[in-house]
Structure 1
Amino acid sequence: MTLAVLEPEGLYPDTRLEQEVMGPSVRILRGNARASLAELPDALCEQADGLMTLRMAVPGDQLARFPRLKVVVRMGVGYDRVDRAACAARGITVCNVPDYGTQEVAEFALLLAMALRRGLLLYHDTQRADPPAPWGVMPSPLVRRLEAQTFGILGLGRIGTAAALRARAMGFRVAFFDPHLPNGADRAIGVHRARTLEELLAQSDVLSIHTPLTRATRGLIGERELRLLPRGAVVVNTARGPILDLDALERALRDGHLAGAGLDVVPEEPPREPLPALLRAYRAREPWLAGRLVVTPHIAFHTPEAWEDIRRKSAETMRDVLVEGKRTNVIPPEAE
């Protein structure tokens, strides 16, 4: 069997780890696509029984170039970049890696929330202004005691649960909404369950998004939903960009309904011209956004330890499914 590993931005020094996991019976080819699968040479595509990809999308119109392809492993939690319907039509199994980077993404969500809520970004931005702000306290709706706030979690999966535990440890009251969890899921970690999304939003001084991107969640948090948050709330998104309407977020920040936002993900990555109004204002350092918005380039998952995890766990998933015929981390084609 032959496994094709796409090189994500040159982060693979070699494939020794993957070869160790897969064993000598599997040959590993390295691809070097930067923009799309169309860049891969035909010779590689024609040999691949398995394909592992981190950032590269797997669209249906490219599958014909992979006549032997049996398994695609998306090296991460989200699987929206893989055309699962087209894969299913070809009998190709699609898997993800749901158990890497959990601590890192949860910690980063808390980091964004706390950096906003304790004024770290506010004072950082205003003290490097020209001229700098006066030396001392700046009254702002951003800054509040953590124990006086509710940390609302949209999606209580692995990362959402890890974020909930960390938010509780920092003193927040924690609530969540997740219609897919059975009754009692809240009891194990001592958080409050909202019966509806609207109920969660109404009480969330911080809204942290941790749901996967599906047909049901695309555009889930728009103008109406943001306006249901308490005035002065903060929104954090470390999940997927298209879940949150950036234009609605810009309006809610500009008119003061929201105090701040932290985004590790945006709808189009990397952002391209013409930029959404919010990102344009952010890059221009418009004064009204000082200390209220932070944007990072989809790196919440990253530590050297997490990178090793994702490589090893992806290879283990591929070995289980491609070589041993198991159903490890298989995503059914009918999943949302």
Structure 2
Amino acid sequence: MARLTVLEPEAMYPDTRLEQEILGPEVEIIRGGAPHTGTLDMLSDEVCARIDGLLIFRHWLKPHHIARFPKLKVVVRMGVGYDRLDRAACAARGITVCNVPDYGTMEVADHAVSLALALRRGIILHHDLQRATPPAPWRYVDHPLIRRAEVQGFGILGLGRIGTAAALRAKAFGFKVRFFDPFLPNGVDRALGIGRAHSLAELMAGSDVLSIHVPDTRLTRGLVGAKELAALPEGAVVVNTARGTSLDLDALEAGLRSGRIAGAGLDVIPVEPPPEPVHPLLQAYRAREPWLTGRLVVTPHSAFHTPQAWADIRSKSAETMRDVLVRGLRTNVIPPEGD
């Protein structure tokens, strides 16, 4: 069998020794340019002509990129979300698309529940108040954010791996956890000991905390808008650690300004990094406008990040490429049809 060639264009790691050990001697590994900066457009035609497998992290893979790789057989997205890959163009060429669904599960679930708790326990509120000029009095604050966990419904929108991990964490803290995910069979709720909502409206009506865990697809873009946020109980908290496209920022800003939404924790926004001029909600957040004090916390799509998660990305991406490209298995293959 002719030797296979895999390209990692972003040079994310200092060497390819681990990847070589996993992929084996029958695979040649080529790295891109300077770490994190090599782009697909910078590659020579000679290199592109040799590539059988492509490891993608931050890059977008569009039809004009795919056309540069005449031998390409497998693309592995080095992460959970695969919205950066043009799956239709890959399917038209017979290219198999995979992801790495089982890295960062604990980190993102921890992050989601931590955002909810930081808001609901007033940690962000007191952090802002105690560093004000002058600082607030040394005492507790009565605020719509602050509630006991066990009196709150904790709604999980999308019960995949991360949503499940978040549900179990929220349950451990005493929240009344329910989920909505129409793609899961009956009995999942009983296995986990949580409730199930049979519609999005039903989930919203009982979610004092809403935690979003859906991928970016045709069905989920704009899923949580003004109508859905208005259906949340008065004083709800909204957390999004999945994809920014599922939550309407205009509607969230309106809900926060009106006071109907007590607080929000965002690790993702619709366009990343945010283009200038930034969305008015981010402008108000950065300017520390008083109406947002303690009510909004933003992290830069970093919920997944730990050294251990980066190690998982590396090893699991290489293992997936090996399974599919070398061994002909169907590990983590994303079907080309449907969104």
Q: String of CA shifts for 1:287-308, please: whole Å, max 9, x gaps.
A: 1111111111111111111111
- Residue of structure 2 equivalent to 1:225: 228
Give yes or no for contact 1:176–1:200 (8 Å, CA) kept in 2.
yes
1:155 to 139, 155, 158: 158
Aligned pair 1:134/2:149, yes or no? no
1:156 deviation in Å?
0.6
Gaps of 5+ in 2: none
Match of 2:171 in 1: 168
Residues 248-276 of structure 1, C-alpha deviation per residue, up to 9 Å, x if partnerless?
10110011010000001111111111211
Partner amino acid, structure 1, of 2:329 = K
The corresponding residue for 1:21 is 22
Alignment match of 1:88 (pick from 91, 100, 117) = 91
How far is the alpha carbon of 1:31 from its aligned partner? 1.6
- Is the CA contact (8 Å cut-off) linking 2:32 and 2:38 kept in structure 1? no
| 2:5–2:30 Cα contact (<8 Å) kept | yes
Which of the numbers 98, 105, 108 marks the counterpart of 2:101?
A: 98
Q: CA deviation at 1:40?
A: 3.1
Are the equivalent residues in 2 in contact too, given 1:36–1:57 (CA < 8 A)? Answer: no
Cα distance in 2 between the residues matched to 1:40 and 1:266? 30
**What residue in structure 2 maps to residue 189 of structure 1?**
192
Note the alpha carbon deviations across 1:5-28, whole angstroms, 9 max, x for none.
132xx6412111111100111111
- Give distance in 1, aligned partners of 2:38 and 2:180: 36
Q: Aligned partners of 2:175 and 2:115: how far apart in 1?
A: 14
In the other structure, the counterpart of 1:41 is: 44
Letter in 2 for 1:176: F
Shift, 1:146, TM fit: 0.7
SS at structure 1 position matched to 2:142: coil
State the match for 2:208 in structure 1. Answer: 205
Determine the C-alpha separation between the residues in 1 that align with 2:90 and 2:139: 59
Range with bigger deviation, 297-306 or 10-19: 10-19
**Secondary structure in 2 aligned to 1:275?**
coil
CA distance in 2, matches of 1:157, 1:81: 20
Q: What is the Cα-based RMSD across aligned positions, in Å? A: 1.2
Whole-angstrom distance in 2 between the partners of 1:96 and 1:318 = 10
* Alpha-carbon distance in 1 for matches of 2:222, 2:211: 15
Give yes or no for contact 2:9–2:38 (8 Å, CA) kept in 1: no
1:277 corresponds, among 276, 280, 283, to 280
Structure 1, unpaired ranges of 5+: none
Letter paired with 2:27? V
Give the match's secondary structure for 2:159: coil
Percent sequence identity is 69
Q: Give, in whole Å, the separation in 1 of the partners of 2:146 and 2:38.
A: 41
* Aligned position for 1:12: 13
Q: Which amino acid aligns with 1:13?
A: P
The offset of 1:314, in angstroms, is 0.7
Amino acid at match of 2:303: A
Instruction: Give the paired residue count.
Output: 334
Could you tell me whether the CA contact under 8 Å between 1:186 and 1:193 is conserved in 2?
yes
Whole-angstrom distance in 1 between the partners of 2:207 and 2:220: 19
Letter in 1 for 2:233: P
Q: How big is the shift at 1:41?
A: 3.5
Change (3 A) 1:247 1:34: farther
Query: In the alignment, is residue 334 of structure 1 matched against residue 324 of structure 2?
Result: no
Work out the CA distance in 2 between the residues paired with 1:216 and 1:186.
Answer: 23
Contact 2:126–2:294 (Cα < 8 Å) also in 1: yes
Give me the whole-angstrom Cα distance separating, in 2, the residues matched to 1:29 and 1:50.
10
Give the distance between the partners of 1:209 and 1:21, measured in 2 at CA. Answer: 34
